[in-house]
Structure 1
Amino acid sequence: MSHQRQDLDTRRIVWSGATLLAALLVVLVVCFVLWRSWAPPVLQHVHRPPEPRLQPDPTRDLATYRHAQRNADYWGWVDREHGIARIPVERAMELMAKQPPETEDVR
């Protein structure tokens, strides 16, 4: 009785794997060289994105916004010299409801 001949050629599989690994290394080296030579000039031409940009400190911005919203319902002067005051929205609506509508003289 003789033994069965092996169907796979181990030497050919090892050489194929080594060839693929060598090709991968060559491609990686070429990509690295190209990236090192092209990246600096490309990155110099990058401009800042247009407005609006991301907030540098969103926590502080939110605190400022909430503070302004809390203070919006209080009475106070916006510009005392020009007689501009701030009043709560509900009170402004009451005052506007009490005023007679202005009529235009249409003939």
Structure 2
Amino acid sequence: MADRQQEQSMHQPSGMNVRSVLWGGAAIAIGVMLAALVSYLLWNLWSAPSGAQLLGGPNTRLRPAVTPPVLESAPQIDRTQYFAEKQKKIGSWEWIDRQKGIARIPVEEAMRIMAARGQDGRSQKGQP
């Protein structure tokens, strides 16, 4: 029994005032409504009237007109031509720089030459 009295004395009494909590909640709700009302009124006050040009900075008239990009109606044709050109380059012979001895050769021929040279890519005769 002494333990029970000791436990009761350790707990603090419930002194919560419900009326104060309700008044505090009402004050917060009224504050939120007033803030929303003031925001709405300022928005209407500072916005441009209907039919008027929207507000802008001092350089609004100097802003250049930017044209949107022109979209292709059939990009498949351009894509096909692009890949055909690349395929032609992969399989053709052409001098890139004749004076330096740089040429474009077909991929199949380049792979055959590299396979003949071995894994390290050098000629088996010792020539580069």
TM-score scaled by length of structure 2 = 0.42
Q: Which protein has the larger Cα radius of gyration, Structure 1 or Structure 2?
A: 2
